[in-house]
Amino acid sequence: MTARQMVPDGPRPTAFGPARLGIYGFLVVSAVFFLMPLYVMIVTSLKPMEEIRHGALFAWPANPTLAPWIEAWSSACTGLKCEGLKVGFANSVFITVPSAVLAITIGMVNGYALSLWRLRWSSLLFGALLMGAFIPYQVLFFPLVRMLAAIGFFGNLAGIVTVQVIFSLPVMTLLFRNYYASLPYDLFKAARVDGAGFWRTWRSVMLPLSGPMIVVALILKVTNTWNDYVLGLVFAGHRYLPMTVELNNIVNTTHGEREYNMEMAATLLTALVPLAIYFVSGRWFVRGIAAGAVKG
Amino acid sequence: MAHVSVRKVDIAFGTVSVLDQLDLDVQPGEFVVLLGPSGCGKSTLLNAIAGLLDVNRGQIWIGGRNVTWAEPKDRGIAMVFQTYALYPQMTVRENMAFGLKIAGLPRLEIENRVREAAAILQLKPLMTRKPAELSGGQRQRVAIGRALVREASVFLFDEPLSNLDAQLRNELRVEIKRLHQRLGATMIYVTHDQIEALTLADRIAVMKDRRIQQFSTPEKLYQQPANRFVAGFVGSPAMNFQAGVMERADGGMRFRSGAFELPVDVMAHTGTEVELGMRPEHILVGESEGQDEGGMPATVEMVEPMGAETLVWTSVAGLPFSVRVDQRRRLSVGQKVSLRFPSQEIHLFDRETGARL
Ligand SMILES: Nc1ncnc2c1ncn2[C@@H]1O[C@H](COP(=O)(O)OP(=O)(O)OP(=O)(O)O)[C@@H](O)[C@H]1O
Ligand SMILES: [Mg+2]
């Protein structure tokens, strides 16, 4: 073979050496490790019970069926009632939507006021708010229950939404405060010279720039609220138990044989919303975080 | 056109005082430049005039009104920022119309004003673009346009050109000058670029150490700097300074530093410690040692060509002096020359206070 002289020109050739092979190998093994439980859950949820009894955990379903999914959604028993997860799903939506909208809106205005309107006590206020983020919230349950009960906000939708908003305010405020502080301050000054007041500046100048951070906040808040168990259990009352609590009730209520397929389906259904959000907005999430870190 | 008056204003950030008993009086229609080193409080003063910053003490008057407590929008001012500060998600047209919309002007009036400003600044083809789609020079023009439509009586500029390259800077500088002549409005302009200051200003306020060091016309600033700082800050290449003492000699005064002696016109006590200042362009270079009557022997130590002129570093009786000569003058390192220091161009400053003698 004639050794051809390589003149460096154009794109650099990518070498596929042993190091790269090692990296890919490691990535594949990790992916398999994390995807295996998911795989088992999915195939189990599609098998009839006879097949599960054979115990071949990894086997592909011989007679795939959607019956467990339908049962989980509409007729599985949660304690005394047998209405499936659909009630819990609706409850979770009723809880998540208003609390996300409220928490993000209030957090945004808080962050805006604290970062741009350098008010006299703003740093003290912000410090107090941050402290709030570090207090373990179990400590607050009892006083909070008493306070909410006193104003009729305990054990109903308004109660759980209020609690959800209160507990996420520190993080939401921090998120937006840092984002607004990273914007050029001259922008705010220009708006003031143009005669825009507190709300006008926020609505016309700051809000349209908040897109990336709203996406980040939305993802954080929605997954957080959807996955919440304890707050829902304590504050929502019987009528508005969220999906996570209902899932637990299904799994823990067994009449006779454990229906693994239905339980797997129920678990997957519950996890579907956060999963969908990650898939749809993962890219925006990263972009939003980058936008917060880097100026402009 | 309005009179702007800053009266005994103190501003401090926490315990750090930035402006101290500062007075500034700007005549109607005047173009005043605030010049000074970085961090001397130029932006702070401008923001205080604009109402974006509260003063700790003192008053601010605009157009015969005490506006110390007034909101920026009620002061009859318009402002252009160094970072342009255009609203990123609005088009050029919306950027310019924003303030007018808030002020509740009728739509027709807004359109007229925006159209007029766009014509003056040649922004017509850019009206529907967003700031991200504009070049730096175009952005700054839009920022100026946004100030223009307010039809303010006072325009405030905070280093509007410092983010632009040299050529654009020259172009926009001329444009701003033309704008001033056309509008006749009072303008206060912050910069730390000397050329900008000298070419634009009717009067220049040189700031340092929380105060205005000198406030006068560009010519006066150059010819009669009030103190050592102004003398060193204004003029490029910088003035030569040499420390020495005053002596009495044959009926006149003399400056002496080691073997270097120079008769001067200034009266001062013998033994006063002073600093001699001499601009490189005012020192005269004679052909060679001895031939030139009254010249001092010097040696060329370094030659820096600067285009139209050459800066020559010389040594006179052990003291370094830079001298500016025409580029056609061929001088080489090691060459012996004679230097003359015309007495009417000599500046003397008290070494303790820095004040001009
Ligand atoms: N928000 C602030 N908090 C504390 N100190 C400040 C603040 N803004 C400005 N300073 C200080 O005040 C002084 C004057 O600042 P200013 O921005 O007015 O300077 P400047 O003359 O405009 O400088 P430059 O030419 O760099 O723009 C500086 O020493 C600065 O550190
Ligand atoms: Mg500044």
pLDDT at B68: 94
ipTM of the complex as predicted: 0.85
Nearest ligand, CA B41: 1
Q: Does one domain contain both B115 and B188? A: yes
pLDDT at B107: 95
User: CB–CB of A192 and B81 under 8 A?
Assistant: no
- Domain tally, chain B: 2
User: Which residues are close to ligand 2, an ion, with C-beta < 5 A?
Assistant: B 43
Q: Which atom of ligand 1 is nearest to the CA of B44?
A: 18
Taking CA atoms, B186 is separated from A36, A46, A193, B1, B203, in Å, by 74, 80, 17, 5, 12
Contact residues on chain B for A184, CB-CB shorter than 8 A: 83, 85
C-alpha A139/C-alpha A66 separation (Å) is 44
Q: Does one domain contain both B119 and B29? A: yes
What is the separation of C-alpha A50 from the centre of its chain, rounded to a whole number of angstroms?
A: 36
pLDDT at B289: 52
Is the minimum CB–CB distance between B13 and chain A shorter than 8 Å? no
- Angle, CA B44 vertex, CA B41 and CA B46 arms, to 5°: 110
Of residues B93 and A254, more confidently modeled: B93
User: CB–CB of B73 and A195 under 8 A?
Assistant: yes
Taking every pair of C-alpha atoms in chain A, what is the biggest distance, in angstroms? 90
- Read off the amino acid at residue A223: T
Chain A: give the shortest CA distance to residue B82, in Å: 8
Q: Is the CB of B44 under 6 A from ligand 1?
A: yes
Residue B206 near residue B214, CB atoms below 8 Å:
yes
Q: Which long-range contacts (CB under 8 A, 24 or more apart) does B295-299 make?
A: B295/B338, B295/B339, B295/B340, B296/B260, B296/B338, B296/B339, B296/B340, B296/B341, B297/B336, B297/B337, B297/B338, B298/B336, B298/B337, B298/B338, B298/B339, B299/B334, B299/B335, B299/B336, B299/B337
pTM beyond 0.90: no
Contact residues on chain A for B87, CB-CB shorter than 8 A: 187, 190-191, 204-205
DSSP reduced 3-state for B33: strand
DSSP reduced 3-state for A75: coil
A85 Cα–ligand 1 center, Å:
61
User: CB–CB of A189 and B79 under 8 A?
Assistant: yes
C-alpha A211/C-alpha A229 separation (Å) is 29
The residue ranges of every structural domain in chain A are: 3-65, 86-291
Where among B233, B254, B272 does a domain terminate? Answer: B233
Chain A: give the shortest CA distance to residue B102, in Å: 7
Q: What is the mean pLDDT of residues B164-187?
A: 90
CATH number where B309 lies? 2.40.50.140
Q: Is the CB of B13 under 6 A from ligand 1?
A: yes
Whether B357 is covered by a domain: the verdict is no
C-alpha B333/C-alpha A83 separation (Å) is 100
DSSP conformation letters of B56-75:
SEEEEEETTEE-TT--GGGT
Q: Of all protein residues, whose CA lies closest to atom 9 belonging to ligand 1?
A: B44
Centre a 10 Å sphere on the Cβ of residue B200 and count the other Cβ atoms it contains: 22
Considering only CA atoms, give the Rg of chain B: 25
Tell me whether residue B10 is exposed, middle or buried, using C-beta atoms within 10 angstroms of its C-beta: 0 to 12, 13 to 18, 19 or more. middle
Q: Point out the residue among A191, A200, A209 whose CB comes nearest to the CB of B89.
A: A209
Centre a 10 Å sphere on the Cβ of residue B117 and count the other Cβ atoms it contains: 21
Q: Does one domain contain both B245 and B317? A: yes
Cβ neighbours of residue B104 closer than 8 Å, sequence gap 6 or more: none
Q: Point out the residue among B77, B85, B103 whose CB comes nearest to the CB of A186.
A: B85
Where among B189, B216, B233 does a domain terminate? Answer: B233
Give strand pairing partners of B157: B80, B189
C-alpha B93/C-alpha B111 separation (Å) is 9
Give the CATH number of domain A86-291: 1.10.3720.10
C-alpha B173/C-alpha B234 separation (Å) is 19
Which residues 287-306 of B have a C-beta within 8 angstroms of A? none
Taking CA atoms, A226 is separated from A156, A245, A270, A275, B149, in Å, by 17, 11, 9, 11, 50
pLDDT tens digits, A36-64:
999 999 998 898 888 888 877 888 888 88
Query: Residue B326 sits in which domain range?
Result: 240-350
Q: Does one domain contain both B147 and B64? A: yes
Q: Does one domain contain both B211 and B229? A: yes
DSSP reduced 3-state for B28: coil
**DSSP secondary structure code for residue A202 in this structure:** I
Write phi, then psi, for B47 (nearest 5 degrees): -65, -35
Which residues 98-117 of B have a C-beta within 8 angstroms of A? 98-99, 102-103
Q: Is the CB of B280 under 6 A from ligand 1?
A: no
pLDDT at B57: 94
pLDDT tens digits, B203-261:
999 999 889 999 999 999 999 999 999 999 998 889 999 999 998 877 788 899 988 88
B156 Cα–ligand 2 center, Å:
12
Q: Does one domain contain both B200 and B296? A: no
User: CB–CB of B52 and A192 under 8 A?
Assistant: yes
Kindly provide the b/e burial profile for residues A147-173, where b requires at least 16 CB atoms within 10 angstroms of the residue's own CB.
ebeeeebbbbbbbbbbbbbbbbbbbbb
Q: Is the CB of B206 under 6 A from ligand 1?
A: no
CATH number where B125 lies? 3.40.50.300
Q: How many residues does chain B have?
A: 357
Residue labelled with tokens 């990263």: A286
Q: Is the CB of B39 under 6 A from ligand 1?
A: yes
Write phi, then psi, for B23 (nearest 5 degrees): -120, 140
Q: Does one domain contain both B25 and B121? A: yes
pLDDT tens digits, B44-78:
999 999 999 999 999 999 999 999 999 999 999 99
Helices (H), ranges, chain A: 18-45, 49-53, 67-74, 86-116, 122-134, 141-150, 157-182, 185-193, 198-201, 211-227, 230-235, 243-252, 260-293
Q: Does one domain contain both B195 and B51? A: yes
C-alpha A57/C-alpha A44 separation (Å) is 8
User: CB–CB of A209 and B81 under 8 A?
Assistant: no
Q: Does one domain contain both B122 and B261? A: no
What is the separation of C-alpha A115 from the centre of its chain, rounded to a whole number of angstroms?
A: 26
- Read off the amino acid at residue B175: E
C-alpha A207/C-alpha A220 separation (Å) is 19
pLDDT at B293: 64
pLDDT at A154: 85
Q: Is the pLDDT of residue B17 over 90?
A: yes
Chain A: give the shortest CA distance to residue B85, in Å: 5
pLDDT tens digits, B135-157:
988 999 999 999 999 989 999 99
Whether B356 is covered by a domain: the verdict is no
Nearest ligand, CA B14: 1
pLDDT at A293: 44
pLDDT tens digits, A62-75:
888 888 888 888 88
Q: Does one domain contain both B212 and B293? A: no
pLDDT tens digits, A126-164:
888 888 878 888 888 888 889 888 888 888 888 899 999
pLDDT tens digits, B279-328:
999 999 887 655 556 788 899 999 999 888 999 999 998 899 999 999 88
Q: Does one domain contain both B154 and B211? A: yes
B43 Cα–ligand 1 center, Å:
7
C-alpha A132/C-alpha B18 separation (Å) is 36
Crossing angle of the two packed helices A157-182 and A86-116, in degrees rounded to 10: 40
The percentage of chain A sitting over the pLDDT mark of 70, rounded to a whole number, equals: 94
Q: Which residues of chain A have pLDDT under 50?
A: 1, 292-296
Q: Is the CB of B40 under 6 A from ligand 1?
A: yes
C-alpha A170/C-alpha B321 separation (Å) is 64
Which residues 146-185 of B have a C-beta within 8 angstroms of A? 146
Whether B48 is covered by a domain: the verdict is yes
pLDDT at B34: 95
**DSSP secondary structure code for residue A47 in this structure:** S
Whether B107 is covered by a domain: the verdict is yes
Q: Which atom of ligand 1 is nearest to the CA of B41?
A: 18
Whether B90 is covered by a domain: the verdict is yes
C-alpha A172/C-alpha A104 separation (Å) is 6
Whether B170 is covered by a domain: the verdict is yes
DSSP conformation letters of B189-233:
EEES-HHHHHHH-SEEEEEETTEEEEEE-HHHHHHS-SBHHHHHH
Q: Does one domain contain both B228 and B289? A: no
Residue A269 near residue A73, CB atoms below 8 Å:
yes
Question: Phi/psi zone of residue B311: left (φ > 0), alpha (ψ -120 to 50 degrees), beta?
Answer: beta
Write phi, then psi, for B20 (nearest 5 degrees): -135, 110
Taking CA atoms, B43 is separated from B75, B135, B145, B153, B156, in Å, by 18, 25, 21, 20, 10
